Each structure stands twice: as C-alpha cells, then as structure tokens.
Amino acid sequence: MPALGLGVFQTPPDETRDAVTAALDAGYRHIDTAAAYGNEREVGEAIAASDVHRADVFIETKVWINDFGYAETLHAFEKSAGKLGVDQLDLLILHQALPGDFERTLEAYRALETLLADGKVRAIGVSNFMVEHLTALLDRATVVPALNQLEIHPYFQQNAAADFGAERGILPQAWSPIGGITFYRDSGHVNALEDPTIGAVAEKHGKSPAQVMLRWGLQHGRSVIPKSTKPHRIAENLDVFDFELSAEDLAALDGLETGKRGGPEPDAVTLETFSREIPEA
C-alpha cells in the first residue's frame, strides 16, 4: 500500500471523478473512500477511465455500521465492489466499532476474515478502534487487522491507540492528517493549517504547513490520506518526499497535542445516532 493516499470524505459525488483523476495524474496510487461517503461509484469510474492500470491503484473502502453482522458485511462487500466496479478490493475496513453492540462488530470482522480467505479482499482492517476495542477484537480475531484508521493530526495524536496497534503489527493510518477536522467542525480547535509552530517549520523547509503535517505523519511511520478537490492542492500534498524534518521539528509538532478530539467519541457511536442506510450497487 502506498503510504500516502487521496481521501474523499465530503468530496461531493459530482466532484469525485475529477479529484480522483487529478490524483492519479499527479501520481497517487492509493484512494481511500467509504460506503458512507456516497462516492464509491465515482471513484471507480475515475480509476476505470484513467490510463493507470487497475492493479497499480490501491483501493481502500469501509463498511458502515448499518451493514455490520456476518451476512450483512459479506453483502456490504458486494455493494462496495459493485459500485467501485471491481472484483477485488485492496483493503476493506470497519468504519467504526459499535461499542454498544460489540458482538455485531465481531461478526462484521469475521465476515472480513472470510472475504480475505476467499480472495475477495487483499487486506482487512478497522477504523476508530480505541485500545479497548482492539483488545476485545484481538481476543477473538484470527487475522490481525492490517491497519487502524484514526483521527491523527498534531492537535490530536492518539498515541495510545496508535502505539498499542503498532506494537501488534497494526499500522496507524491518519485521517484528517492536515487537521481537516480542526476547521470544518466546531471542535474547539483553531485551524491547524494556521498554527504558528507548524508555519515556522514550513517556512524553514520552504514547504507548506500541509506538507509539513503530512511529512510529520510519514516520518512517524503512519499512512496519511489527505483530502482535497483542488488539483493544485492534490499535487502539493503528494510533494512531500524531497525533504526531511529534523528530530527537533518532529518534537515541535509532537508538542502541539491538545487532548481534544475533533471527530465523534468512538464510544458514542450507535446505530441510533449514526444510522445511514447504504444503497445497493
């Protein structure tokens, strides 16, 4: 899996094809979507229409909580693969745990294990799993999740969940890696892109604040999946392999932790509060 991919959360379906096309043209070979984003079909169309061979693009998508359960999650694969227009997914992950119904979460994961054994998916994983969720999962799972996609940016780093996973071979993958969640929701944060510490590091390297945050994530051994619909930003976000942050730079960003989550509390996610029916392919 390429460590850096394009995210498409909140990318409207009618802009998704152009965003994914711009990303493939810029050199991206990894796209992160989700059944709940409502744009899997457009992601698949952009990949199919591009000159890049399907086998060279890593497609990651997520099963929404309404589709948790063994039979339901097997069917969720059919819905996602159908919309994406592919026979096999590179990575299929559970979008959230359902802490109030963890048995159902485990049944969903068991379906992912079946899909992996059947060759329908090349890897399986989870998202927004805290230490207690990972512990409960590892207790029953036969396959260690390949990764755990978590809110990780300088203001909220989730070291406990990321390190617990990393020690067990579960790669941390950062969502909102440039702090998107800090400026499109009322999370009590200021915009991470306007942070003076990040700005100073960026200036020193002749790079942008977004590039510095992505480089910080990569140098900490994480995968990062920045979202943009703008071709110049899509290209900018991939242009992070020609500079290196010093230990001092990394420590400066590490020091920005606020302890304040931007996204939903994982334990507050229930079918009542976050229900969303996922249409058939």
**Can you give the binding site for ligand NDP, defined by CB under 6 A?**
7-9, 32, 95, 127-128, 149, 175-181, 184, 193, 208, 210, 225-230, 233, 236-237, 263
Which residue is associated with the tokens 């994983």?
A: 125
Closer of 187 and 228 to ligand NDP (Cβ): 228
Largest CA-CA distance found in the chain, in angstroms, rounded: 53
Report in angstroms how near the CB of residue 63 gets to ligand NDP at its nearest: 11
Contact 222, 162 (CB under 8 A): yes
Cα separation, 160 vs 32, in Å, equals 24
Closer of 106 and 240 to ligand NDP (Cβ): 240
Cα separation, 97 vs 264, in Å, equals 12
Which of 37, 109, 155, 184 is catalytic? The answer is 37
Report in angstroms how near the CB of residue 34 gets to ligand NDP at its nearest: 7
Report in angstroms how near the CB of residue 10 gets to ligand NDP at its nearest: 6
Report in angstroms how near the CB of residue 171 gets to ligand NDP at its nearest: 14
Closer of 71 and 204 to ligand NDP (Cβ): 204
Contact 91, 125 (CB under 8 A): yes
Closer of 64 and 118 to ligand NDP (Cβ): 64
Closer of 149 and 157 to ligand NDP (Cβ): 149
DSSP structure string for 230-275: -HHHHHHHH--SS----HHHHHHHHTT-----SS--GGG--TTTS-
Cα separation, 177 vs 173, in Å, equals 9
Q: Which whole-number Å values give the CA distances from 220 to 95, 153, 254, in the listed order? A: 23, 11, 10
User: What is the signed CA dihedral for 67, 70, 74, 76, rounded to 10 degrees?
Assistant: 0
Task: Give the Cα-Cα-Cα angle 196, 148, 277 (nearest 5 degrees).
Answer: 105
Cα separation, 159 vs 78, in Å, equals 34
The question of whether 37 is a catalytic residue gets the answer: yes
Report in angstroms how near the CB of residue 208 gets to ligand NDP at its nearest: 6
Q: Which are the catalytic amino acids?
A: 37
